[in-house]
C-alpha cells in the first residue's frame, strides 16, 4: 500500500460528502463557568480540589471559547473543515439538570447562535449532548448516574436540545465515552465525581459495583433519548444519532490461545460493554462470566429499546495495546497491557501519555473489526496524539509537532486503506483536538491540539499538524469538479 502524504493525493478520492473536522468538549474549552445562568457541573468543584489535576488547573477559563467562539469558527474555516464536533453543556441548558427544573434561555440562545454561525461558514454541526459535565445538582439530588432516576432527566434534556436545535443539527451523539464516565469517574476515582473504593482517593464509592450500575444507566439514558428522537423528532428533522464509544485495538502479546482470548476480553470490556447491547442486544458473555450478579440485567422492555438504538457506529480510538493473559484488573477485562513487544522493542512512538503510542495498522484492524461485528457505517469521532513534553517546549518548537503529523499521516492512511482496500464504510474523521485545552485530570500539562494555545493570552497558532490535515483532506476529498 502507498502511504498517502499531504503532498501526494490519493488515486481514489474520498466521497465528497465525507466529513472531516476537529472535535472538542464544552468543559474543556468554554470557560465562563458562572456566566449567563450556567449551573454548576460536577467538574467545576472537582477540578478545583487540590491534587485532582496534575498541574492544579481547572476549567474556569479553559480556552475561553464561550467568549471567543467567533474566533474558533474563523479558525475552523481557515482549515477548510467540512464539520465540527462540539458538545453542549447540560448545565447551560438546564442549570439544575432535572425534568422539572427551568430551562435557561441564554444557554439556548448561545448554542443557537453558534450553530447558525457554523452553518453560515459552510461547516456541518456534529453535536455531543453529554461529554462528562453532569449538572452538580443531579449528583447532589440523587447520586447522578448511580440512580435510575437519571434516565428520565437525561431524556428530557436531550428532548430540549432536539427541539431547540434539531431543525439545523442533523448529526447527534448522545454521549461521549461512557466507559470513562463509569470507570474513571466511579471506579478509579480520577475523574469527577471521583468515587472509588480507594479511601486514599475518595471518602465514598464501591469500585466493585458502582461502575457497572453507572454503565447500565448510561446505556438506558442513551437508548430512551434515541427512542424519543426517533418518535418525536427524526421524522421531520431527518437527522441521525449514535453514541461515541472509546476503545482501542487489542493485539495478542504473543500468538498463543490464552493471549488471543485475552485480546478479545479487552475488546469485550472496552467496546462490547456498550456496543454489544446497543447493536446486538446483549452484554458480552465474558462480562457476564466475570461479573456475575454485579452486572445489571435489562428487562425485556428495556432491551427492546436498547437494541438498535444507534444509526451509525461512532468510534473514539487512539492507540493499540498488546494484551497478555493473567491480569486481575476487571476494568481491563483481567488483561495485562503493554506496548513492549517480546523482543523488547516498542510498538510505536511514545506520546506524553502513558497509555498512548502510535500504531496505525491497529486502527485499520479496529475499523474492520467494528464494521464486521456491528454492520453500520463508521464515523471516527475522535483520534489524536499528545507530543511528549510538548508543554515544556517553546511555542516556536511546539508548532513543529512532527510526531503528531506522523501520527495523523499514519491514521489517515489507515482509514483510507480500510475504505478503499477493505470496503469499510467510514464516513467521517474528527481529530482530537481543535485546540490545546483543559485535559481533565492532566490539567493543561498535556496538549492534544492541532492549534497551539498560549493560555496566558488565549491566542491561537496553527501547528504543522493542522496544516497537514487541512492539505490532506483538501487534496483527497472529491469535489464536484473531480
pLDDT tens digits for 274-301?
999 999 999 999 999 999 999 999 999 9
406 in a domain, yes or no? yes
Write the CATH number for 404.
Answer: 3.20.20.80
Domain count, the chain: 1
pLDDT tens digits for 114-149?
999 999 999 999 999 999 999 999 999 999 999 999
In the set 302, 382, 390, 439, the catalytic residue is 382
SS3 at position 270: helix
Average pLDDT, integer, range 433-438: 98
241 in a domain, yes or no? yes
C-alpha cell at 226: 434515541
In this structure, are strands 459-462 and 451-454 parallel, antiparallel, or unpaired? Answer: antiparallel
339 in a domain, yes or no? no
Cα 245 to Cα 429: distance, rounded to the nearest angstrom: 14
Q: What is the pTM for the complete model shown?
A: 0.97
259 in a domain, yes or no? no
Q: Is the pLDDT of residue 9 over 80?
A: no
DSSP state of 276: I
Active-site residue flag, 177: yes
288 in a domain, yes or no? no
Domain that holds residue 414: 19-248+359-476
307 in a domain, yes or no? no
What is the structure's pLDDT at 10? 56
391 in a domain, yes or no? yes
Choose between 160 and 482: higher pLDDT. Answer: 160
What is the structure's pLDDT at 13? 78
Q: Give which of 129, 120, 110, 18 is closest to 69, Cα–Cα.
A: 110
Length of the chain: 482
Q: How confident is the model at residue 478 (pLDDT cuts 50, 70, 90)?
A: confident
Q: Is the pLDDT of residue 482 over 60?
A: no
44 in a domain, yes or no? yes
pLDDT tens digits for 153-200?
999 999 999 999 999 999 999 999 999 999 999 999 999 999 999 999
In this structure, are strands 451-454 and 378-383 parallel, antiparallel, or unpaired? Answer: unpaired
Active-site residue flag, 382: yes
In the set 177, 210, 330, 439, the catalytic residue is 177
pLDDT tens digits for 389-418?
999 999 999 999 999 999 999 999 999 999
Q: Is the pLDDT of residue 323 over 90?
A: yes
Amino acid at each position: 500500500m502507498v502511504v498517502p502524504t499531504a503532498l501526494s493525493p490519493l488515486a481514489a478520492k474520498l466521497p465528497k460528502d465525507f466529513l472531516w473536522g476537529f472535535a472538542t468538549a464544552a468543559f474543556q474549552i468554554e470557560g465562563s463557568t458562572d456566566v449567563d445562568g450556567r449551573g454548576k457541573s460536577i467538574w467545576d468543584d472537582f477540578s478545583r480540589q487540590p491534587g485532582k489535576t496534575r498541574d492544579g488547573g481547572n476549567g474556569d477559563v479553559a480556552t475561553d471559547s464561550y467568549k471567543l467562539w467567533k474566533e474558533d469558527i474563523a479558525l475552523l474555516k481557515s482549515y477548510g473543515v467540512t464539520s465540527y464536533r462540539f458538545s453542549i453543556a447540560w448545565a447551560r441548558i438546564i442549570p439544575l439538570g432535572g425534568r422539572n427544573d427551568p430551562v435557561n434561555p441564554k444557554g439556548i440562545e448561545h448554542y443557537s447562535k453558534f450553530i447558525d454561525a457554523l452553518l453560515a461558514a459552510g461547516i456541518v454541526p456534529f453535536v455531543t449532548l453529554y461529554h462528562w459535565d453532569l449538572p452538580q445538582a443531579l449528583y447532589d439530588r440523587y447520586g447522578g448516574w448511580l440512580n435510575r432516576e437519571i434516565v428520565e432527566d437525561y431524556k428530557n434534556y436531550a428532548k430540549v436540545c432536539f427541539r431547540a436545535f434539531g431543525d439545523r443539527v442533523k448529526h447527534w451523539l448522545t454521549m461521549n465515552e461512557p466507559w470513562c464516565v463509569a470507570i474513571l469517574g466511579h471506579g478509579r476515582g480520577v475523574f469527577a465525581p471521583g468515587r472509588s473504593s480507594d479511601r486514599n482517593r475518595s471518602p465514598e464509592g464501591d469500585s466493585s459495583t458502582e461502575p457497572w450500575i453507572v454503565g447500565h444507566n448510561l446505556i438506558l439514558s442513551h437508548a430512551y433519548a434515541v427512542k424519543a428522537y426517533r418518535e418525536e423528532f427524526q421524522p421531520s428533522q431527518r437527522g441521525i444519532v449514535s453514541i461515541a464509544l472509546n476503545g482501542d485495538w487489542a493485539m495478542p502479546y504473543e500468538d498463543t490461545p490464552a493471549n488471543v482470548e485475552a485480546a478479545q476480553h479487552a475488546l469485550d470490556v472496552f467496546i462490547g460493554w456498550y456496543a454489544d447491547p446497543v447493536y446486538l442486544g446483549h452484554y458480552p458473555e465474558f462480562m457476564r462470566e466475570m461479573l456475575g450478579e454485579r452486572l445489571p440485567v435489562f428487562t425485556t422492555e428495556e432491551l427492546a429499546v436498547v437494541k438498535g438504538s444507534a444509526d451509525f457506529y461512532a468510534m473514539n480510538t487512539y492507540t493499540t495495546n498488546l494484551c497478555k493473559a493473567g491480569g486481575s484488573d476487571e476494568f481491563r477485562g483481567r488483561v495485562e497491557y503493554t506496548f513492549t513487544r517480546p523482543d523488547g522493542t516498542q510498538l510505536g512512538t511514545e506520546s506524553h501519555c502513558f497509555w498512548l503510542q502510535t500504531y496505525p495498522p491497529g486502527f485499520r484492524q479496529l475499523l474492520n473489526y467494528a464494521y464486521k461485528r456491528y454492520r453500520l457505517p463508521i464515523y471516527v469521532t475522535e483520534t489524536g496524539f499528545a507530543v511528549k513534553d510538548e508543554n515544556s517546549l517553546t511555542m516556536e518548537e511546539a508548532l513543529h509537532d512532527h510526531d503528531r503529523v506522523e501520527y495523523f499521516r499514519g491514521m489517515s492512511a489507515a482509514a483510507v486503506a480500510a475504505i478503499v482496500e477493505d470496503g469499510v464504510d467510514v464516513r467521517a474523521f474528527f481529530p482530537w483536538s481543535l485546540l490545546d485545552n483543559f485535559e481533565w485530570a492532566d490539567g493543561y500539562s498535556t496538549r492534544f491540539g492541532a492549534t497551539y494555545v498560549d493560555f496566558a493570552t488565549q491566542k491561537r497558532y496553527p501547528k504543522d499538524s493542522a496544516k497537514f490535515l487541512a492539505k490532506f483532506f483538501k487534496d483527497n476529498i472529491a469535489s464536484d469538479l473531480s
